[in-house]
Amino acid sequence: MIVKKSYSFMSSDVFPAAFYITNPNNHLINNRAHGSERYGFQYDLGDSVKEVNRDSTICPSGIPLGTFYGNKATSNQFYGLKIPENYHPRTKPCEDTRFDYSDAAEPAPYGSNKPICAVFEELSCIRNSRSCVVSDAKGCV
């Protein structure tokens, strides 16, 4: 599939992806993303669900990753996989992480909202113009 940008709809259409993912709790296994004008796989995760399905109790930027395994990104004009800087999967997706000083002997850096590692396994990249993966996310991604 060749993915082209469009200037007539949403801003995300200007920066297209073959796989545009807004909820990380999906299972992407053995997929091929080829020939996009931007990204092969792009996670675009808001702090809450907006637009038609507005729901402040669902927080994609904190939801743990489902499965990302055995995927291939080839000949995309930017990156094979783009992970946003706001992606911080944690045990309570809609709650902030706060440093808990209640136990002076062993303060907890995340309080009771511990991070969960997002593991992207066996991504193969060939001929993406910029690089295989770009991520500004901090922590366990």
Dist CA 125 CA 122 (whole Å): 10
- The three-class DSSP label of residue 21 is strand
Dist CA 12 CA 49 (whole Å): 15
pLDDT in tens, the chain (141 residues): 667 677 666 666 667 899 999 999 999 999 999 999 999 999 998 776 666 566 778 889 999 999 999 999 999 999 999 999 889 899 999 887 766 667 666 666 677 788 899 999 999 999 999 899 998 776 666
All residues at 6 or more sequence positions from 117 whose CB lies less than 8 Å from its CB, including other chains: 89, 140, 141
| Identity at 138, one-letter amino acid code | K
Task: Tell me which DSSP letter residue 32 carries.
Answer: E
Domain ranges of the chain: 14-135
pTM for this one? 0.82
